[in-house]
Amino acid sequence: MKRTNGEKAYAVFNYIFLTLLALITVYPFWQVIITSFSTAAEANRIGFKMWPAEISWEGYKNVLTNQNIWNGYLNTIIRVLLGTSIEMTLSILTAYPLSKKYLPHRNIFTMLIVFTMFFSGGMIPSYLNVRSLHLDNTVWALVLPIGINTFNMLILRNFFMSIPEEIEESAKIDGASAVQVLVQVVLPLSVPILMTVGLWSIVAHWNAWLDCVIYIRDSNKYVLQAVLRKIIIDAAPQFDNMNTTAQDISQIDTEVVKSATIVVSTLPIMLVYPFIQKYFVTGVMVGSLKG
């Protein structure tokens, strides 16, 4: 169909607006990347920069030779694997029964679960609970208290409700048990929403740092974001166990090390996102339609 002048004008305005919005969103991170490859003098130069005038690898050299960074990576990967596995398992096992109309008192259970989204015990009761269970200073303190996310569980529940009951009934007629129906029928049909919720969980665990600071006392057990926070807040270009001479420090700017650390900590999750992004629209839209 031929578009009217008003539609053409709107399309032009829309493209310009979205392009400017994309630039505003991308440029700060691009600036961090530029700074991470810059020399100390270039990093402190004021002005608009699209590319470093002189490329330096000193920031990455200092970050990647720091054992704390690698310990943080390992602790974060362990947390992500454990936390995501626990959250997905508990969310599925909670959402699937709640999606069935024949579950007794289903609405009451759902209301009680939704209640926790708005009210909680707070930080101090949570800390006392973790200590009383002797989970503090362990990875379990980072994954068990947030073992299930109410919002993600409700998204899964809504998606399960959208699956036609006839499909499950036909599997039961063929002799499938309830567990077989869930594992062999429901979950394969729910790949888009599972990938979406899974990525949300991965990103949440990857970016989390506050609970690590609260519950973990041993710095060797710090997750990557807690190490990153130490770098940024303390403004320390050198860390514990880093062999950096006074001459090296004078040639390495704090902002360069900060930027290099941000890039190193953000890159893995950015590499994972494109492979799962295609499931977002399908998963979120279908999962949010039926309540």
Q: Where are the alpha helices (DSSP H) in 163-245?
A: 165-173, 178-180, 187-189, 191-207, 210-215, 224-234
Q: What is the pLDDT of residue 244?
A: 42
Q: What is the pLDDT of residue 77?
A: 92
Phi, psi of 101 (to 5 degrees): -70, -25
Q: What is the pLDDT of residue 274?
A: 74
Query: Quick check: is 178 in a domain?
Result: yes
**CA 229, CA 236: separation in Å to the nearest integer?**
10
**CA 183, CA 40: separation in Å to the nearest integer?**
55
Which residues are registered as beta bridge partners of 4?
none
Query: Quick check: is 42 in a domain?
Result: no
C-alpha radius of gyration, the chain, whole number: 24
Q: What is the pLDDT of residue 138?
A: 92
Q: Where are the alpha helices (DSSP H) in the chain?
A: 5-36, 40-43, 58-64, 67-98, 106-118, 123-132, 140-143, 150-162, 165-173, 178-180, 187-189, 191-207, 210-215, 224-234, 246-250, 254-276, 280-287
Residue 146's domain spans which residues? Answer: 58-291
**CA 224, CA 119: separation in Å to the nearest integer?**
29
**CA 218, CA 287: separation in Å to the nearest integer?**
40
Query: Quick check: is 111 in a domain?
Result: yes
Measure the CA angle with vertex 126, ends 121 and 130; round to 5°.
155
Query: Quick check: is 128 in a domain?
Result: yes
Q: What is the pLDDT of residue 117?
A: 84
Q: Is 231 exposed, middle or buried (0-12, 13-18, 19+ CB in 10 A)?
A: buried
CATH number of residue 104's parent domain? 1.10.3720.10
Measure the CA angle with vertex 148, ends 70 and 134; round to 5°.
65
Query: Quick check: is 289 in a domain?
Result: yes
Question: Mind listing the pLDDT tens digit of every residue in the chain (291 residues)?
Answer: 677 888 888 889 999 999 999 888 888 888 888 888 887 777 666 666 777 777 888 778 878 887 888 888 899 999 999 999 999 999 999 999 998 888 898 889 989 988 888 887 788 888 999 999 999 899 999 999 888 889 889 989 988 888 888 888 888 888 888 888 888 888 988 888 888 888 889 889 988 888 999 999 888 889 988 888 877 676 444 444 444 443 343 445 677 877 888 888 888 877 777 776 666 655 555 545 444
Q: What is the pLDDT of residue 286?
A: 54
Q: Which long-range contacts (CB under 8 A, 24 or more apart) does 113-120 make?
A: 113/150, 113/153, 113/154, 114/150, 114/154, 116/150, 117/150, 117/151
**CA 231, CA 204: separation in Å to the nearest integer?**
21
**CA 250, CA 252: separation in Å to the nearest integer?**
6
Measure the CA angle with vertex 236, ends 235 and 239; round to 5°.
150
**Nearest CA to 208 among 191, 189, 228, 194?**
228
Query: Quick check: is 225 in a domain?
Result: yes
Query: Quick check: is 8 in a domain?
Result: no
pTM of the model: 0.76
Distances (CA, A) of 282 to 175, 194, 197, 279: 31, 11, 12, 6
Q: What total number of domains does the chain contain? A: 1
For residue 238, give every residue at least 6 positions away whose Cβ sits within 8 Å of its Cβ, in sequence order, or none: 62, 244, 249
Q: What is the pLDDT of residue 47?
A: 66
Query: Quick check: is 100 in a domain?
Result: yes
